[in-house]
Amino acid sequence: MVASLSHHIASLFLLVTIPLAAAFISPIQFPRSIAKSSTLIMSTRFKYEASQDIASVYHQMEVVDKKTPITFGPIVFISSLFLGVPFLLTVLLPLTIVSAPIHFFAALLINGKLFSFSKATSNTIVDRSGDQSIIIAPRESRKYDVVLLGSTGFTGKLATAYLAKQYGACCFLHSWKRRNGKWAIAGRSKSKLESTLKSIAKDLGNDEVLKVDTIIVDTMDRSTLKALVDNTRAVITTAGPFVKYDITGEVQWNKSMMQQYESTAQRTGAKIVSLCGHDSIPWDLTVRSLSEKLHESCNDELVSVECLNEMKGDVSGGTLATVYESIDRGIWEFEWKSILPSSTLDVYKRLPDGCESTFSVSSDLPVTVSPCRNPATRFVNRWCGPFVMAAINMDVVGRSISLSKHGNPTVTYREAAVQESFMDAFSMWFGTVILGTLIINPITRPLVKRALPQPGQGPSETVRKEGYLCVTGYGVGAEGNVAESAMYFPHDGGYQSTARMLVESGLCLALNEDRHEMSQGGFYSPAGLMCAALLDRLVNSGTKFAIRSS
């Protein structure tokens, strides 16, 4: 992790574990803090023919862009091994094991409930639309192609700036259909919206940004939401409502929304696509692309896939708020697993017609560090460790696999973070474990929350530009054929690139309907609905991608 996050972690441990502990602090790999090519995947459903030169992707990253990986020195490794591990095992972990359940049950008894989120534990679909008739405005009559809701938050500002810089600050953009479109921003406060536009206009040196329309929308006011969706083809939102202040890596929240509103979406024709940023577009598109490559080039079906992540970046307060909430959710589900009603069907396996998909994903996620087992020369003598968002990515990939029209009944999914050496891999793994333990522990969590970034705070522009994300995919078919890919995002994946992915997803939803995988309304994953068209848009806006089969 970069220096700024290292400073946060060091400060945290000084507060929590006495000055001695500061010696073994290692930077933590966070879910959203990771990090122009015209080459695209070869497929009759993709616009262009792909480059097969995967080496050129790595060359762009390492030689042209001069991206450098996260490294740790021997002092951090030795301190972690001989000071950190004993402290974790003899002090912090036993304290957490004792205090966390006590806190859980005490809060349950005092408050009646511990957490406010919805539990996606059954297959029941609840239609929340009530008895109100739904009148849908014709799409061709709507004023805007896209409206960005939540543009005053950290990622929302980045997305607004990207829209203005990439597609024109005069409210007009040119779509692939060769017509002008219009976009606007929305939020609760007109003054904050105007302040955001002024800031972006100053940064871009373009006063035309001030002409972008602003719309007042309160997500708790149904009438303002109705007016918004009646007037735009697609809403790009960073405002929620989510469980916490994120955009969103929260699969359980997404499943809950799917249970409650999918029937309404199907009835109205609305297409709802979540997890359209660092969580989890790079991995979702990688796996779908490998599957299509094997199917079309080798007449084979994907049976196993490995994604190897190289990344660098920092973390925001909004992401950390989601981490806290996700850990709470995990504790709740663990404590009550034996008495909660079990689901007859995971909603991510449910097809639009209500039937269960015949395709699924199985987990092969690592839990400790080990030598990279990928046969590619690039990963010889390198080490792999767990990636904190791998389970989330696997769920999203599984949703896309469930929506596939062909494939092997089960695809084994493996994802790992790649490090240069065992020392680096161990330091990263240990840092993640000890920070997670500190957050779970109700005694140390308040100190963690005070020491680390707060909601609304995020990495600096310098950190975002120095960050990057590269996902190498390695897929194996049932007949032994192999497909390899590399997808490189030249800026911080968690924020700068997430803003771009989010905007391009919204534009793809609004402007590329003729290339959608599904025509009916419902809840979809990014690759499940927009794979080919979305990959085209990302490559044309800065992502480097190559794929080959053998």
Angle between helices 526-540 and 281-298 (to 10 degrees): 90
**Contact predicate 375/155, CB 8 Å:** no
**Contact predicate 508/13, CB 8 Å:** no
**Reduced DSSP (H G I as helix, E B as strand, rest coil) percent helix, strand, coil of the chain, to 5:** 45, 15, 35
Both tokens of 464, joined, read: 């975002």
Q: How far, in Å, are 238, 328, 497 from residue 150 at the CA level?
A: 5, 25, 17
**Contact predicate 196/151, CB 8 Å:** yes
Amino acid at 105: F
**Contact predicate 246/317, CB 8 Å:** no
Among the CATH numbers 1.10.3470, 1.10.1060, 3.30.1490, 3.40.50, which is that of 139-273?
3.40.50
In whole angstroms, what is the distance from residue 12 CA to residue 158 CA? Answer: 28
pLDDT, position 377:
87
Q: Which residue has the tokens 């002090």?
A: 91
In whole angstroms, what is the distance from residue 483 CA to residue 502 CA? Answer: 27
pLDDT, position 177:
46
**Contact predicate 325/243, CB 8 Å:** yes
User: How do beta strands 271-273 and 468-477 pair?
Assistant: unpaired
Q: How far apart are the first and last CA of the chain?
A: 35
Both tokens of 175, joined, read: 């779509």
Which of 290, 298, 286 shows the shortest CA–CA distance to 525? 286
Q: Which helix (H) or strand (E) holds 296?
A: helix 281-298
In whole angstroms, what is the distance from residue 354 CA to residue 348 CA? Answer: 11
In whole angstroms, what is the distance from residue 396 CA to residue 385 CA? Answer: 20
In whole angstroms, what is the distance from residue 261 CA to residue 265 CA? Answer: 6
Which of 534, 46, 11, 2 shows the shortest CA–CA distance to 282? 534
Q: Which helix (H) or strand (E) holds 488?
A: strand 482-489
**Contact predicate 282/391, CB 8 Å:** no
The DSSP code for 219 is T
In whole angstroms, what is the distance from residue 378 CA to residue 213 CA? Answer: 48
- CA torsion, ordered 507, 508, 509, 512, to nearest 10 deg: 120
pLDDT, position 16:
33
Amino acid at 192: K
Neighbours of 343 (CB within 10 A): 15
Q: Which residues pair with 183 in a beta bridge?
A: 146
Q: Is the peptide bond before 248 cis (omega within 30 degrees of 0)?
A: yes
Q: Structure pTM?
A: 0.85
Q: What are phi and psi of 181, to 5 degrees?
A: -125, 175
- CA torsion, ordered 243, 395, 271, 193, to nearest 10 deg: 40
pLDDT, position 181:
73
In whole angstroms, what is the distance from residue 225 CA to residue 144 CA? Answer: 15
In whole angstroms, what is the distance from residue 464 CA to residue 454 CA? Answer: 17
Length of the chain: 550
Those residues whose C-beta lies under 8 Å from the C-beta of residue 90, and which sit 6 or more positions away, are none
**Contact predicate 104/335, CB 8 Å:** yes
The DSSP code for 208 is G
pLDDT, position 11:
35
Q: Is 243 helix (H, G, I), strand (E, B) or coil?
A: coil
Q: Which residue has the tokens 């030598």?
A: 371
pLDDT, position 329:
64
Q: For the chain, what are the domain ranges?
A: 3-115+278-336+357-549, 139-273
In whole angstroms, what is the distance from residue 545 CA to residue 376 CA? Answer: 17
pLDDT, position 162:
96
Q: Per-residue confidence of the chain (550 residues) as pLDDT tens digits?
A: 333 443 343 333 333 332 223 222 233 333 333 222 322 333 334 444 567 799 999 999 999 999 999 899 999 999 999 999 999 999 999 999 998 788 777 766 665 554 444 444 334 444 444 545 667 788 878 999 999 999 998 889 999 999 999 988 765 554 444 456 789 999 999 999 999 999 999 999 999 999 999 999 998 888 999 999 999 999 999 876 565 555 667 788 889 889 999 999 999 999 999 999 998 999 999 999 999 999 999 999 999 999 999 999 887 776 777 677 766 666 555 444 444 445 556 899 999 998 999 999 999 999 999 999 988 889 999 999 999 889 999 999 999 999 998 999 999 999 999 999 999 999 999 999 998 899 889 899 889 888 888 777 788 888 999 999 999 999 999 999 999 999 999 999 988 999 999 999 999 999 999 999 999 999 999 999 999 999 999 999 999 999 999 8
Q: Which residues pair with 271 in a beta bridge?
A: 522
Those residues whose C-beta lies under 8 Å from the C-beta of residue 111, and which sit 6 or more positions away, are none
Spacing of C-alpha 453 from chain mean position: 19
DSSP assignments along 130-190, one per residue: TT-------GGG-SEEEEEE-TTSHHHHHHHHHHHHHH-TTSEEE-TTSSEEEEEEEES-H
In whole angstroms, what is the distance from residue 29 CA to residue 475 CA? Answer: 25
